[in-house]
Amino acid sequence: MDNTHGTICPSCHAAASALANFCSQCGKKLKERQLSTSVAKQIIIYLVSFFLAPLGLGYAFKYIKQRDPKTRMIGIVSLALTVIAIVLMIWLTKTFTNSLYGSFNTVGF
């Protein structure tokens, strides 16, 4: 098999150059850009997901959409961390508010 001549578009079955990123006939994306699954990248994604909660969702959805199970797993973990961070933030806010009201009550009593 000689692959250098090109690929076949999965959408319209037109022959496309192996170097082309998009099909010249229908414009479909031919090459899926592989997302990085390196440990360093994972750490960055997890940190962003947890400490900058809503910003991590961008990564999470981008990774979940991939076909590769390892890449998808990173997205799922990132999404879980985002949810945990948000729940934790709500809980901390509630605890803080409660203790604030609690001390007010004690003073008032």
Binding site for Zn ion (CB under 5 A): 9, 11-12, 14, 23, 25-26, 28
- 28 or 31, CB closer to Zn ion? 28
Q: How far is the CB of 53 from Zn ion (least distance, A)?
A: 39
Q: How far is the CB of 10 from Zn ion (least distance, A)?
A: 8
Give the Cβ contact number of residue 77 at 10 Å: 16
Helix, strand and coil percent figures for the chain, each rounded to 5: 60, 5, 35
Q: How far is the CB of 32 from Zn ion (least distance, A)?
A: 15
Token code pair at residue 20: 């082309």
Give the Cβ contact number of residue 37 at 10 Å: 15
Q: How far is the CB of 19 from Zn ion (least distance, A)?
A: 15
- 25 or 93, CB closer to Zn ion? 25
Q: Tell me whether strands 7-8 and 15-16 are parallel, antiparallel or unpaired.
A: antiparallel
- 11 or 103, CB closer to Zn ion? 11
Of 2, 9, 4, 67, give the one whose Cα is nearest residue 33.
67
- 9 or 79, CB closer to Zn ion? 9
